[in-house]
Amino acid sequence: MHRPPHRGAKRFTLTLLLFAGVASGQEIPKQYDAVCDTLLKRGFSGDGSYSLLRELTGKAPHRLAGSDGAAKAVELTTNMMTRLGFANVRVETCMVPYWERGALESAEVLQAKGTIRLSVCALGGSIATPVKGITAEVVEVKSFDELQNLGGGVKGKIVFFNRPIDPSKLNTFEGYSGAVDQRASGAVMASKMGGVAALVRSVTTLPDDAPHTGGMGYQDTVARVPGAALSAVAADRLSGLLKRNPHLRLRLRLSCRTLPDVPSANVVGEITGAEKPKEIIVVGGHLDCWDKGSGAHDDASGCVQAIEVVDLIRKVGLHPKRTIRAVMFMNEENGLRGGQAYRDVRSLRS
């Protein structure tokens, strides 16, 4: 489990406080220096975020929208904010997509002397393969341009997107953005060229044998083909095998499925503003995470930091002019339904 940027959350608390108490363009009063020091000392001396994070990831580790874990997380964070004495703690319901991974995930290179199993997992939102799987030759590409240049050579094959994250990028998200398009759109691009499935190198810099899931999408005008991620180790191995035998065959089997939308909820709690309660400052994180792990970094840490931001202000006895609200948003990973529902409810009220 990655430790969240705890001290950064405390500094954000201070910024939040200043925005809550000071009008736009107004000079920040000197007395806030002492307030900031009080908040910092209180935050740094405690274990607030970490203990909440352990509770959330320990009791509801797999929180993909629609799952039992997501429902448990809604209950947990509602209880957290109630226990901490937040005002107006409530759930705001929304409908969310419900995708299940299924029990079967396998990728096997077929050879005369037997099979070579590769570590694989379905990408979020993928359709399943037929029960017996998809067996086909594999074509390796590093980019969509390279794929298109192959023309008819892709038809009937499994497309293997093997572009790693550039580890030299100082900006982490610049490196991520340079590789994630093949995961998001790889199945669509493969299908457009006549491919029967897409395999994608896991979007990570870790050279391990754990495949990383993540969201992928389809287009209504393009035939849907399955999409799956190979671990970095498996991707390197498959690439090496293809260099020795460009015509090797691989069997991919996935049993994932998309079920009808189900009800879920955002969780909301706040400190009511002393002078301008209808002016609201929102801090939050997304409560859902992919089903392969506990989502400690993405985004349980953001959720518990948002809760602690509000709790710290309450604990030191401050009474901000504006309402400060913590929101645990549901379904960021594969739909953004929680954020959209939060927006839509307030649009109707205005």
Residue-by-residue DSSP string for 180-245: HHHHHHHHHHHHHTT-SEEEEE-S-S--SS-----B----TTS----EEEE-HHHHHHHHHHHHH-
Residue intervals of the chain classified under CATH 3.50.30.30 are 102-255
In tens, the pLDDT along 188-243 reads 999 999 999 999 999 999 999 999 999 999 999 999 999 999 999 999 999 999 99
pLDDT exceeds 50 at position 32: yes
From 270, 308, 332, 333, the catalytic residue: 332
Amino acid identity for residue 313 in this structure? I
Tell me the CATH number of domain 6-98+259-344, given options 3.40.630.10, 3.40.50.300, 3.90.1150.10, 1.10.357.10: 3.40.630.10
Closest CA to 130 of 258, 260, 256: 256
Contact between 138 and 117 under an 8 Å Cβ cutoff? The reply is: no
Closest CA to 189 of 222, 230, 166: 222
Residue intervals of the chain classified under CATH 3.40.630.10 are 6-98+259-344
Which H or E run contains 65?
none
Amino acid identity for residue 61 in this structure? P
Q: First CA to last CA across the chain, in angstroms?
A: 41
User: For this structure, is 332 an active site residue?
Assistant: yes
Helices (H), the chain: 6-21, 32-44, 48-59, 68-83, 144-149, 172-192, 232-244, 301-315, 337-349
107: which strand partners?
Answer: 118, 252
Proportion of the chain above pLDDT 70, given as a percent: 91
Structure tokens given for 110: 């077929």
Structure tokens given for 192: 């457009």
Q: Does domain 102-255 have CATH number 3.50.30.30?
A: yes
In tens, the pLDDT along 297-310 reads 999 999 999 999 89
Is the pTM higher than 0.85? The answer reads yes
In tens, the pLDDT along 74-123 reads 999 999 999 999 999 999 999 999 999 999 999 999 998 899 999 999 99
Q: Kindly give the interhelix angle for 32-44 and 6-21, rounded to the nearest 10 degrees.
A: 150
In tens, the pLDDT along 273-330 reads 999 999 999 999 999 999 999 999 999 999 999 999 899 988 888 889 999 999 999 9
